[in-house]
Structure 1
Amino acid sequence: MASVRRFNKVKSSFLVLIVAFWPGLAFSDSSLDSLLNPPAAEQSYSNEIQNALLAHYSNWAGTRHKLGGTGTNGVDCSSFIQTLFQDKFQLRLPRSSREQMTMGERVDLSDLRSGDLLFFRTGPTRRHVGVYVGDNQFMHVSTRAGVEIAKLFSPYWQRHFITARRVGLAGITPSN
């Protein structure tokens, strides 16, 4: 009887590990290779976008969160994203994260590029937005730390993820 319980416990632990790493199971060797080694033109585009995002971050890092805020004395997530896309890409986005979530086209997490918008449900009616910067990280406005770069695949963000959207930065030369 003890060996049956031990087997069930091992079986349960194994299932928990499988579920925990489920996103990794979706990658075939070829899709993983394409993620790690994108074509040169796409990599150049992505590097330009990433550099523009990081330049914007250097001016805003640590700026505190302020609900409804729109400037460096306090900013909320959707205003931060709206300002970023206007300043760096001359692209006008709506003011609210709920409206921003309707822009562009849906993107799978396995196909993220720098500049893609990421949306999260952080409360029953609250939405949060950030922007993917590459290397499984995104920039956003945290209520605790202000403007920061966070790990996309942390348990918190994975649990609250809704969707990713690509808003048409192809062909746009970012201003640094």
Structure 2
Amino acid sequence: MLWALVLAGCASQQPQVSPQPPSVTTDIHAPRTETGNTAGPVPQSATVDRLRQVFERYQGVPYQYGGTTPKGFDCSGFIRQAFAEGLDRHLPRTTRQMLTEGRSVPQDQLRVGDLVFFNIRGREQHAGIYMGGDRFIHASTSVGVTESSLNGLYWRGRFTQARRFD
């Protein structure tokens, strides 16, 4: 029980001031293409690479409520940083705001870069970035920026939805 509390997700929302692992619809083995400054979505293989590079740069950075810098991130702060650095996209600041934007995606249609949301203590207050398979990257209160399994003991019953920010 103590371990579950330690793993509890971030509360990046401003404080008033058992699904199965998803099917993967990404083609992470597709040939690389030059994206340059052309319009259109980033190919999935490039998305994986870019997000993985950002993750590796920040892996282990401690969790900090309201954190938005490499000194400490909360879950939405890390997501926002990863999207800005890796994908040149700007997302809303809080989990609550992220839940109102993007478009809903069924769990069996997840693609790399989709945001996954979790119910912690009765509210959708934790989020991460889907990386393919059943993996997602996020800022955990217990270990900081890390990678976890959607089907892991703590997370599998807490998944609530996914959103795509094209």
- 1:132 and 2:130 correspond: yes
Using the TM superposition, give the Cα deviation of residue 84 of structure 1 relative to its aligned residue in structure 2, in angstroms: 1.2
* TM-score of the two chains, using structure 2 as the length reference: 0.74
Match among 54, 59, 66 for residue 64 of structure 2: 66
Q: Could you say which residue in structure 2 is the equivalent of 1:13?
A: none
Gaps of 5+ in 1: 1-19, 169-176
Match among 90, 106, 113 for residue 92 of structure 1: 90
Task: Say which SS state the counterpart of residue 131 (structure 2) adopts.
Answer: strand
Q: Distance in 1 between matches of 2:28 and 2:112?
A: 15
Q: Distance in 2 between matches of 1:116 and 1:167?
A: 7
Using the TM superposition, give the Cα deviation of residue 39 of structure 1 relative to its aligned residue in structure 2, in angstroms: 9.9
Q: Could you say which residue in structure 1 is the equivalent of 2:114?
A: 116
Q: Could you say which residue in structure 1 is the equivalent of 2:155?
A: 157
Gaps of 5+ in 2: 1-17, 34-42
Q: Could you say which residue in structure 1 is the equivalent of 2:50?
A: 52
Task: Say which SS state the counterpart of residue 79 (structure 2) adopts.
Answer: helix
The count of aligned residue pairs is: 140
Q: Could you say which residue in structure 2 is the equivalent of 1:7?
A: none
Report which of the two structures shows the higher radius of gyration computed on alpha carbons.
1
Amino acid at match of 2:153: P
Q: Distance in 1 between matches of 2:159 and 2:20?
A: 13
Higher helix share: 1
Residues 97-121 of structure 1: CA distance to partner in whole angstroms, max 9, x if unpaired? 0101122111111111110000111
Q: Could you say if the C-alpha distance between residues 88 and 155 of structure 1 is closer, same or farther in structure 2, counting changes exceeding 3 Å?
A: same
* TM-score of the two chains, using structure 1 as the length reference: 0.70
Q: Distance in 1 between matches of 2:74 and 2:65?
A: 5
Using the TM superposition, give the Cα deviation of residue 124 of structure 1 relative to its aligned residue in structure 2, in angstroms: 3.1
Using the TM superposition, give the Cα deviation of residue 23 of structure 1 relative to its aligned residue in structure 2, in angstroms: 3.9
Give % identity: 31
Q: Could you say if the C-alpha distance between residues 43 and 123 of structure 1 is closer, same or farther in structure 2, counting changes exceeding 3 Å?
A: farther
Q: Distance in 1 between matches of 2:26 and 2:142?
A: 35
Q: Distance in 1 between matches of 2:159 and 2:26?
A: 26
Q: Could you say if the C-alpha distance between residues 79 and 41 of structure 1 is closer, same or farther in structure 2, counting changes exceeding 3 Å?
A: same
Task: Say which SS state the counterpart of residue 48 (structure 1) adopts.
Answer: helix
The structure whose RCO (Cα within 8 Å, separation 6+) is larger is 2
Task: Say which SS state the counterpart of residue 155 (structure 1) adopts.
Answer: coil
